[in-house]
Amino acid sequence: MVVTVPSPAAVRQAAIVVSLEGAAGVVAAVWYVVSGLLGTREPGMNLFGTAGWFVVMGSAVLAAGWALWTGRQWGRGLAVFAQLILLGVAWYVGVGSGQWVPGVALALVVSAVLALLFSPSALQWATGQDSPDASADNSGPDTR
């Protein structure tokens, strides 16, 4: 039996941003498909392959946002992983490409989401301490 415990406000706030990140990935995929169909050429870039990558990653991040919003703890791991990847993207944009404003803006958003996902209420929720089954009186095996 899967226990779904309502997520705290911090997790729901993170869910909104994570969902927007996932939606942005799906929109990027559509953009690449449309560009490919219109015949846009970029040397060394496969627009349809890039679109496929964005569909897979954007959909996974969007699913993580939905999972966080609906109280499913599995979404937290995907969301944290996505934020760590985006932190690297922020570094590349800011330092590697010299575009400091978007790089710093992305780093601030990612840092805020990570702070929400690692807040005390989010950690308590993620470890199942809010669950009615997570009591010291229950000495049996954990069946969550």
pLDDT tens digits for 31-67? 999 999 998 888 888 999 999 999 999 999 999 999 9
The predicted structure's pLDDT at residue 30 = 97
Residue 144 pLDDT > 90: no
Cα–Cα distances (Å) from 66 to 32, 54, 60, 135, 141, in that order, read 24, 18, 10, 28, 29
User: How much is the pTM?
Assistant: 0.83
CA dist., res. 82 & res. 73, Å (int): 15
Residue 7 pLDDT > 70: yes
Would you place residue 132 in the very low, low, confident or very high pLDDT band (cuts 50, 70, 90)? low
Nearest to 24 by CA among 75, 59, 71: 59
Residue 70 pLDDT > 90: yes
Phi, psi angles (nearest 5°) of residue 38: -80, -5
**Structure tokens, 87:** 């932190």
